[in-house]
Structure 1
Amino acid sequence: MQHPAVPDLSHTHTRPIHWVATATAVAGVVALSSVLQPDAATAAQPGGRTTAAGPRSAPAHIAPPDPAAVTFPLECGPVEAVVQKKATGDLDGDGRPETVASVHCDAPMGTPPDGVYVITRNTDGGEPRVVATLVDPKDRHTATELSVRDGAVRATLLGYSSPDVPSCCPDVTDHVKWQWKNGAFVSDTPSQARTV
């Protein structure tokens, strides 16, 4: 007599009682999981602020202020102000994002200077508004890079070593960083100027 190559697995054949037992177990797990919900999280959120009453978590996701909804303090005459670059992040640690915008007049020729502005909105979610000027257009700078990292505004500015340098050809590069300290934006380190 020849033995089969595969052992007899008759004990593995499913019967209706197996299906009933499995369905009952799954239904029990689903019912139990809907009754036993975890408690609401009570830990402070990362970056949350602490008040006298205890930790205050950051508010739910809030959209950063839109620079298109702001009137910038620029005198552009017959042309419009254009937002060239923007970056967003929480600059003052209140859990609400601010927007930093590099803006210049849309001049048809030449290199119009940029202004770099900080935009925020009131805690009640009102209209966005400019709260700080980091770079005044009168200083004749062009912002080539703009970012917000670790609560600081960082910018690369092209400028001029003297008023005699033509607007087409900036000859100085500054890497600048501002942080919110004691109610004002302060440049942390003096910029290192280098000739281009």
Structure 2
Amino acid sequence: MQTSAVPDLAHTHARPVHWLATATAMAAVVAAAGLMQPKAATASQAGAPGAVTAAAPAPGPAGVRLPLECGGAKSVVTGKASGDLDGDGSPETVAVARCDAGSGTPPSGVYVLTQGGETGPRVVATLLEPAQKLSVKDFAVRDGAVTATLLGYSSPDVPRCCPDQQEKVKWQWQGGKFVRSAAL
């Protein structure tokens, strides 16, 4: 019989104690990896120009140019409410505004504002155009939805002081846009 040039590898036979030691070491590595997780990923880098963080306050309507055509009259914000409407972790503000008329019930506009980074708050959506000639009552932001009662007129003969129609509506972010539906 010829002797092998390789040393005897009798110590390489796996015994149950070797398997137990290997399993214990692997369990320790997996447990350590589970404890050392990186911070949660965000869509924007902290400190990056224009980055909005969850701690950012809701934008206010003061100083924002709302798309209202008031002629020589001023526009007035009659209501505002904030909440995270699109699920991105940053609050948006919904502002109800109208022209400051001397009498009657001027139509309202409903606008969604978001932080615009260094440029300040900006309008990102119009939920109700003043051209629809509706007024807004019982306005709120709850559970990611905007709810309101819209007041309108059945005909041009109805005095503008006294709306004779109402509709309860809800706007909710779906598929990348605000969708209007009847509120229950």
Alignment TM-score, normalising by the size of structure 1: 0.64
Q: CA RMSD in A?
A: 2.7
Secondary structure (helix, strand or coil) at the match of 2:62 reads helix
Is it true that 1:94 corresponds to 2:88 in the alignment?
yes
- 1:140-159 to structure 2, matched below 5 A, reads 140-159=133-152
Matched position secondary structure for 2:158 = coil
Alignment-derived partner of residue 65 in structure 1 = 59
> Does the Cα contact within 8 Å between 2:54 and 2:90 map onto a contact in 1?
no
Q: Report the equivalent of 1:167.
A: 160
Q: CA deviation at 1:108?
A: 1.4
Q: Residue in 2 aligned with 1:118?
A: 112
2:99 to 98, 102, 105: 105
Unpaired segments of 5 or more residues in structure 1?
A: 1-38, 52-57
Distance 2:131 2:178 in 1: 19
Distance in structure 2 (CA, Å) of the matches to 1:62 and 1:93: 14
**Could you say what secondary structure the match of 2:131 adopts?**
helix
Query: Highest relative contact order (Cα 8 Å, sep 6+), 1 or 2?
Result: 2
How far apart, in 2, do the equivalents of 1:186 and 1:103 lie?
A: 20
AA at the equivalent of 2:64: V
Moved over 6 A (4+): 41-44
Could you tell me how far 1:121 is from its partner in structure 2? Answer: 1.9
Cα offsets for 1:74-93 (capped at 9, x unmatched): 11111111000011000001
Deviation at 1:126, TM superposition (A): 3.6
Q: Report Cα offsets for 1:119-152 as digits up to 9, x if no partner.
A: 1123x45411111111111111111121111100
Q: 1:191 to 1:95 in 2, by over 3 A?
A: closer
Count of matched residue positions in the alignment of Structure 1 and Structure 2: 142
Structure 2: runs of 5 or more not aligned:
1-34, 44-51
